[in-house]
Chains A and B, each alone.
Chain A
């Protein structure tokens, strides 16, 4: 419909320039509506002098409405007193038409008619020119409203395209996450049931998580969050994901794994960028979890029947800041009935309607409630759904950052 928008799928630098500079409006489609031929011709002469090339005419209101529908003009110069359908009715019908891009309307009116002037503005006119028409005024107002319109359109289409790009990027990001099929295989092989939840914010986020089978007893997992959000953080998730794919996950020590990854990220990331990460190995033979953390959120280990919670230790230097950072292996028990819960900081830091965030303490009490409301014996519990429902009831959308939550239930 809008010929000024090119068919490229991605927002370009030119798009940005299009709405920061003064747009070229000489190709704008202008419809001149007047029942007197001489007036139409006079206006046409002024508009041609000003450099406009697409000028169309309507001889009365009915003709105007018809041509608005067919031509989708950018601007209409409208006379009020006309036979059949008058200018007031054109304004009225125009507002009912709900066009995707309704034109700017400049109404021609006499200076003396104060009531009339007020009325046309109320009916949706963009501006007025006084009759008899002064060429300078007509040209200036026509140019002004077309430029405003083009700037607005440029901005709107840039936004729309950016939103499409972001949606696509988000889908690609979701493609990094484990599939339902993978999780089914893991549940069958290890007796560990994984559930995950994701709530998007207005922007792209920097968080993701993953699992990988090591051997019959051991399962590797991680949850990672790049500082900040937006495009930089999202791009970094792709970078790290490809690094992770190349790493050897069979290591004995998650702390060493983080140290290696840290060295790699120190070379990759710019100052001020960093990632937080918690990674570990679930060992079902040893009934334990060994993990290491680089400034991640507090890992929580809950007991299904009692609702008791044990907090892990998330402290550790963030990844990508100092090259010789050292990490620490820590452990938690992991027996049937245990639930390990990992999450991004949006869960504890997003403000509720009073501006208060859950923080660690609030999350733990939500988790206790969610654990207690499960029937721990039949295995199929909806812990994460319950927890997220409690969070949803409390915290309004949109969230300031993307939220990722993952639960690991030992069956």
Chain B
């Protein structure tokens, strides 16, 4: 997994790419802590360039949801594609996250 964080003023966007799997735990945590330290109200995780996520990856997103819910910020998951979208459907992520298609 790779990520890039851009502050667009009204929202902070983390753009992820490649795969999100078990071995990305550390880099994902690092990304979350950067996001938590930023005061922008809306935080977006853009998944449009992610082509694969496993169950550990879903767990990391749930962790992000938990961490951000403790603040006054909101989290949006943006544009899941292909396998990622299918995993979101199976795990009913629409009931837990704001997902922007």
Contacts and interface: CB of A to CB of B under 8 A. Distances in A.
A227 B96 contact: no
B49 interface: no
A61 interface: no
B83 interface: yes
A229 B57 CA distance: 12
A274 B21 CA distance: 15
Interface size range of chain B in the complex: 20 to 34
Interface stretch (B9-17, B33-41, B71-79, B85-93): B85-93
Contacts, number: 63
A326 to B, nearest CB: 9
A126 to B, nearest CB: 34
A317 B96 contact: yes
Interface in A197-241: 225, 227-229
A135 to B, nearest CB: 45
A273 B95 contact: no
A276 to B, nearest CB: 7
A359 B55 contact: no
A58 to B, nearest CB: 49
A271 B95 contact: no
Contact of A228 (B59, B90, B92, B95): B59
B95 A317 contact: yes
A345 B92 contact: no
Most central of B54, B66, B83 by chain A CB within 10 Å: B54
B19 to A, nearest CB: 10
Contacts of B1: none
Nearest to A318: B91
Contacts of A321: 62, 96
A298 B91 CA distance: 12
Interface of B: 21-22, 52, 54-56, 58-60, 62-63, 66-67, 83, 89-92, 95-96
Given A273-B59, A314-B90, 4 more contacts: A227-B56, A272-B59, A316-B90, A318-B62
